[in-house]
């Protein structure tokens, strides 16, 4: 089974965006608020909206997509704390509906109602709801709810501990994923995302988070940002700061995905990062659309790159495509096993 661990709902129906527009307009004029608490979207419209994803699943050979709300659409810096709560609930409910309608294609990951300067404790109820009631297998955690100004404490600060405690209690991982950027210095997908991935990893080096939370699992997307390319830098910094090897300090708990959009990048990732820490992902129909003129294939057709990496055996490819995802997402493993798809024996 090939499990794509990182895709966002980027083809939402127009009614979904209209609801959001009215929600934000209502901040200035209550008369412009949406008349209902949920956008009026039929099941048929939802299924029609994800036909592009289903088509690419078939064409590219993936079996199951871990699906979450549009990352840029989380926009935790927009509106108010109450706005964020409503928007997270609406977004998660839409993902849940899709996963219920198309259970063989999608499994859910949730959006949290974060807001700059507000304690992560405000997210716990929605986190519990997405896992216990909606059946989600993970959550996206934004390390910078300010949208590019980094006004909240670093991820190693006790400020974030309520979220980590709940993640461990529920046995679900968090993907560390920022949203759109309101700082004009940073393009949101080309700079802010990669900056955040790299920043999060460095923050983790600086602390001892996993001594307090030995079972916590964090996924850093987009191939880990700049980390694999500068692995020597981070190994050296870890040794000088923590007096321990980087692998021992972080890599029992931190995982990278394969949202890297050329073969040399994937080759570097698989050469530098332990295979057990790499999860297959494409973020298809996301950050990098279009055809690569050098290959004639879509940039985000990442399975093709992994298939081309010389030196990967069947066991390593199984880990990347399926085994690691089932280990990092225990609720996904349980779901698949209950459906008659047990993990391969070690």
Distance of CA 103 to the CA centre of its chain: 19
Residue 283 appears among annotated catalytic residues: yes
Sign, CA torsion 266/268/274/277: negative
3-state secondary structure of 58: helix
The full 3-state SS of 263-325, as one line of letters, equals: HHHHHHHHHHCCHHHEECCCCCCCCCCCECCCCCCECCCHHHHHHHCCCCCHHHHHHHHHHHH
Query: What's the rounded Cα separation, in Å, for the pair 92 and 69?
Result: 7
* Order of all β-strands in the sheet with 174-176: 3-9, 64-69, 106-111, 138-141, 174-176, 218-220, 254-257, 278-279
Beta bridge partner(s), residue 138? 109
Question: How many of the other CB atoms lie within 10 Å of CB of 96?
Answer: 19
Residues 144 and 122: beta-carbon distance below 8 Å = no
Which is catalytic among the residues 283, 294, 316, 322?
Answer: 283
Residues 261 and 282: beta-carbon distance below 8 Å = no
Positions annotated as catalytic residues are 283
């Amino acid at each position: 089974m090939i499990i794509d661990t990182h895709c966002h709902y980027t083809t939402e129906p127009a009614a979904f965006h209209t609801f959001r527009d009215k929600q934000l307009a209502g901040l200035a004029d209550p008369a412009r608020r949406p008349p209902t608490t949920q956008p009026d979207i039929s099941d048929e419209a939802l299924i029609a909206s994800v036909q592009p994803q289903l088509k690419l699943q078939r064409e590219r050979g993936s079996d199951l997509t871990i699906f979450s709300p549009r990352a840029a659409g989380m926009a935790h810096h927009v509106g108010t704390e109450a706005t964020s709560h409503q928007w997270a609930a609406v977004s998660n409910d839409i993902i849940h509906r899709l996963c219920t309608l198309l259970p063989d294609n999608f499994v859910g990951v949730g959006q949290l109602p974060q807001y700059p300067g507000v304690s992560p404790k405000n997210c716990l109820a929605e986190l519990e709801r997405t896992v216990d009631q909606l059946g989600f297998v993970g959550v996206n955690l934004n390390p910078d709810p300010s949208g590019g100004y980094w006004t909240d404490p670093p991820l190693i600060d006790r400020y974030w501990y309520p979220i980590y405690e709940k993640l461990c209690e529920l046995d679900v991982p968090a993907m560390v994923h920022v949203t759109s950027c309101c700082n004009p210095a940073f393009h949101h997908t080309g700079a802010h995302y990669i900056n955040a991935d790299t920043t999060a990893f460095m923050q983790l080096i600086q602390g001892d988070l996993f001594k307090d939370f030995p079972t916590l699992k964090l996924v850093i997307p987009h191939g880990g940002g700049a980390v694999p390319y500068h692995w020597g830098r981070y190994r050296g910094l870890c040794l000088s700061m923590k007096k321990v090897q980087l692998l021992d300090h972080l890599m029992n708990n931190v995982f990278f995905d394969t949202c890297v959009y050329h073969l040399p990048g994937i080759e570097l990732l698989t050469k530098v990062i332990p295979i057990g820490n790499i999860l297959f992902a494409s973020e298809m129909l996301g950050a990098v659309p279009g055809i690569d003129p050098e290959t004639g294939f879509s940039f985000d057709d990442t399975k093709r790159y992994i298939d081309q990496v010389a030196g990967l055996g069947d066991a390593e490819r199984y880990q990347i495509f399926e085994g690691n995802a089932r280990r990092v997402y225990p609720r996904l493993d349980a779901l698949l096993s209950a459906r008659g798809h047990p993990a391969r024996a070690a």
